[in-house]
C-alpha cells in the first residue's frame, strides 16, 4: 500500500468482499524532499500515514517493511549505472519486478498470505488451452499499466490480484468516496520517487561522484561540433541544451560511452525501423521460436506500432517495425502485445536503421 487512492481502494474493496486482508507498505527511500506534497511522489512519511489510516478504517492490519537496502541495490544503483553507460533506464519497471512483486511475495508468504494485490490498472486471466496465466491491459486506456509489468513470471501471476483492472480511474475515485477513504481525492504521484527535485543528474553525482566526464559532440559523420559535460546529461531525441549553433535543429541521435561522445543529427536521423532487445521475459508464450507479428510499444506513453519480432539467439530478438519509430532509446523497455494480451518484452540494447 503506497498510501495513494489506487492501493487504498484495492485493499478496502477486497476487505469489503470478505477477503482477509493485510496491508503492507514497503519503506524504500528517505529524503527531505519527499515530505513536500508539491512533489507528488510516493514513499513519503505522509504516504505511510495515509496507508495506516486507510487500514484502520477498513479494520485491516498494517505493516511497514524496510526495503531500503534492496531498493538501493536493485533500483537506484542500476539507474545511475545505466545513465553512465549512455542508456536511459526505466526504474519503475525494475521497481515493480524486484520490489513490488518478488520481494513483496516473499514478505506475503512470511505472513501466511496466499496472494498479493496491488492497485495496478491491469488484468490477469488464465488461458485454458495453454494453461498459462495471461497479463492483459487494464480497461482504462488512459491509465493502464501493463507496460510496467511485462517482467512478471507465471509463478508470480498465479499469486497476484489486480482488483482495479476492470475499472477506470473515475470509477476508482467514486468507489473510494463510497468507502469513505481519506485518499479519495489525493493527487496522483508523479515523476521518479527517488529523484526529489526532478534532476536525476544531481542524484547520479551524489551516488557516483566524479563520473560526468566532458567529451565531444559529434555529427553523424564524426565531425566535432562542440563539447558536452558528460553523456549522462543527454537522452535520445533531446534537442534542448546542446549549446550548438547550427542552421537546422539538432537532436541527440546516439550516445557512445566507449568514445564518451554524444552524436547529434537532424530530425530524420532520430527515426529508425529496427531495434535489438535482450533480457527478455515471455508471458503468453513459453519462448519465441519463430518470427511473430505483434504491436510493440517502446515507451510507456508510446502508441503501439505493428512489428515483427525475430529471434536471434537465446534471450535476444530483433524487432522490425512496419513504420519508423522516433527516438528508440537503449535502456528503455519494448513490450509486445497481441490485442490486449502482453506477449512479453525486453530491454532495448541497440537501435538499427
- Residues involved in catalysis: 95, 193
Distances (CA, A) of 22 to 61, 161, 183, 313: 5, 14, 18, 43
Torsion of CA 319, 191, 22, 152, to 10 degrees: 10
- Check if the beta carbon of residue 93 is closer than 8 Å to that of residue 117: no
Give the count of beta carbons closer than 10 Å to the beta carbon of residue 168: 17
Pick from 97, 29, 110, 25: nearest CA to 69: 29
Nearby residues of 219 by Cβ (< 8 Å), 6 or more positions away? 225, 263, 264, 265
Torsion of CA 339, 9, 113, 1, to 10 degrees: 100
What distance in Å separates the CA atoms of residue 171 and residue 15, rounded to the nearest whole number? 18
- Check if the beta carbon of residue 2 is closer than 8 Å to that of residue 42: yes
Distances (CA, A) of 349 to 111, 276, 296, 315: 39, 6, 15, 12
Question: What's the gap between Cα 151 and its chain centre?
Answer: 10
Amino acid at each position: 500500500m503506497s498510501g495513494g487512492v489506487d492501493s487504498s481502494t484495492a485493499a478496502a474493496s477486497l476487505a469489503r468482499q470478505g477477503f482477509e486482508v493485510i496491508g503492507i507498505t514497503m519503506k524504500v527511500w528517505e529524503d527531505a524532499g519527499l515530505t513536500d506534497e508539491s512533489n507528488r511522489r510516493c514513499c513519503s512519511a505522509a504516504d505511510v500515514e495515509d496507508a495506516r489510516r486507510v487500514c484502520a478504517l477498513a479494520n485491516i492490519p498494517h505493516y511497514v517493511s524496510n526495503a531500503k537496502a534492496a531498493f538501493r541495490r536493485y533500483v537506484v544503483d542500476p539507474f545511475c549505472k545505466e545513465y553512465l553507460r549512455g542508456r536511459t533506464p526505466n526504474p519503475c519497471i525494475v521497481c515493480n519486478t524486484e520490489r513490488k512483486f518478488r520481494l513483496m511475495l516473499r514478505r506475503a508468504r512470511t505472513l501466511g498470505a496466499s496472494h498479493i494485490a496491488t492497485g495496478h490498472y491491469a488484468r490477469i486471466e488464465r488461458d485454458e488451452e495453454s494453461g498459462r496465466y495471461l497479463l492483459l491491459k487494464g480497461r482504462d486506456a488512459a491509465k493502464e499499466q501493463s507496460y510496467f509489468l511485462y517482467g512478471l513470471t507465471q509463478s508470480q501471476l498465479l499469486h497476484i490480484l489486480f482488483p482495479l483492472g476492470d475499472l477506470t480511474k473515475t470509477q476508482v475515485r467514486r468507489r473510494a468516496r463510497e468507502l469513505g477513504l481519506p485518499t479519495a481525492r489525493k493527487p496522483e504521484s508523479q515523476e521518479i520517487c527517488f529523484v526529489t527535485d526532478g534532476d536525476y543528474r544531481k542524484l547520479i553525482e551524489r551516488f557516483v561522484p566524479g563520473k560526468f566526464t566532458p567529451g565531444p559532440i559529434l555529427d553523424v559523420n564524426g565531425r566535432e561540433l562542440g563539447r558536452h559535460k558528460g553523456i549522462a546529461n543527454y537522452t535520445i531525441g533531446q534537442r534542448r541544451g546542446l549549446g550548438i549553433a547550427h542552421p537546422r535543429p539538432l537532436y541527440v541521435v546516439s550516445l557512445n560511452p566507449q568514445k564518451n561522445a554524444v552524436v547529434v543529427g537532424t530530425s530524420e536521423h532520430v527515426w529508425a525501423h529496427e531495434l535489438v532487445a535482450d533480457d527478455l521475459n515471455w508471458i503468453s508464450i513459453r519462448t519465441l521460436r519463430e518470427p511473430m507479428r505483434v504491436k510493440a510499444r517502446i515507451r510507456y506513453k508510446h502508441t503501439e506500432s505493428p512489428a515483427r519480432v525475430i529471434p536471434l539467439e537465446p534471450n535476444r530478438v530483433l524487432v522490425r517495425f512496419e513504420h519508423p519509430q522516433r527516438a528508440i532509446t537503449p535502456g528503455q523497455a519494448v513490450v509486445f502485445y497481441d490485442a490486449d494480451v502482453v506477449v512479453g518484452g525486453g530491454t532495448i540494447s541497440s537501435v538499427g536503421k
